[in-house]
Amino acid sequence: MLKECVKHGYFRGEVCPLCGDQARFFMDDRELDHMARIVAGILRHFPPRYGLTPGPNGWVQMRDLVQAIKAQHRNYPWLKGHHLIALAMTDPKGRYELRDDAIRATYGHTVEVDLDLPTDNIPESLYYPVTPEEKDLVLEVGLRPTDRKKVHLSLTALDAFSAGKVRCEAPTILSVDTRKTVEDGHTIQRAGKTVFLVDMVPPAMLSLYDGELPSVENGAAPDE
């Protein structure tokens, strides 16, 4: 459920988490999930399918995005820019960025885009999930993009575990030495709340994570 509290702004849920107000209704859960998938698909993967051409840094004008969605999804005649602003501002993983009257995805692209994201305050270690079958090969050759333009690293081992469960019940987690990676000439960018981007990670910067991880039964597999 997506709503807006007069006092505290946009939130997801039945009542405002800060004051308990019922607040103004924006979208129900079904609409929110569907709209999130549409927006992510357009900004990350297929803007031309909606007649859109993002700028070189991935930005799309909000009014153009709203019009494009309404043109192809007739069940959203009520859609306005503030609905998408609310969706972006309440996204739990920080998948979107807003600037002036434009929006872009912060990571997950399969289309070519030059993301001018911040490169400061990078943690000393980041993490990446692999299947047990991939482990030895990745440790030998390093990490390189597969279906996306960048390698997506996670803030914590638990974040990596959750992302890895999309592909594997019990992913193996690799630790990335970010200082050595940057010293080797690879730029690491902050994207979203728990995701970092890099062009590749050489094998010398990788090691097996040996800390605790949740049991297979308790692991989650949220969409990135």
Q: Quick check: do 2-105 and 125-208 share a fold?
A: no
Residue with tokens 């872009």, as numbered in its chain = 104
Mean of all residue pLDDT scores within the chain: 91
Cβ neighbors of 19 (< 8 A, separation 6 or more) are 5, 7, 8
**Residue range 125-208, CATH number:** 3.20.170.30
Q: What architecture is the 2-105 domain classified under in CATH? A: Orthogonal Bundle (1.10)
* Helix axis angle, 29-44 to 81-89, nearest 10°: 90
Q: pLDDT value at position 221?
A: 41
Distance CA 22, CA 3 (A): 8
Q: pLDDT value at position 224?
A: 56
Question: For residue 111, is pLDDT > 60?
Answer: yes
Residue 216's alpha-carbon distances to 136, 164, 171, 205, 223, in angstroms, are 21, 11, 9, 27, 17
Average pLDDT (96-122) is: 92
Question: For residue 223, is pLDDT > 60?
Answer: no
What confidence tens digit (pLDDT) does each residue in 78-107 have?
999 999 999 999 998 889 999 999 999 999
What confidence tens digit (pLDDT) does each residue in 60-82 have?
999 999 999 999 999 999 999 99
DSSP-assigned letters across all residues of 56-113: TTS-EEHHHHHHHHHHH-TT-TT--HHHHHHHHHT-TT--EEEETTEEEESS---S--
Distance CA 211, CA 91 (A): 29
Q: Whole-angstrom distance between the N-terminal and C-terminal Cα of the chain?
A: 19
Poorest-pLDDT segment among 36-50, 139-153, 195-209: 139-153
Q: pLDDT value at position 106?
A: 92
| Residue that wins the pLDDT comparison between 146 and 40 | 40
The domain locations on the chain are 2-105, 125-208
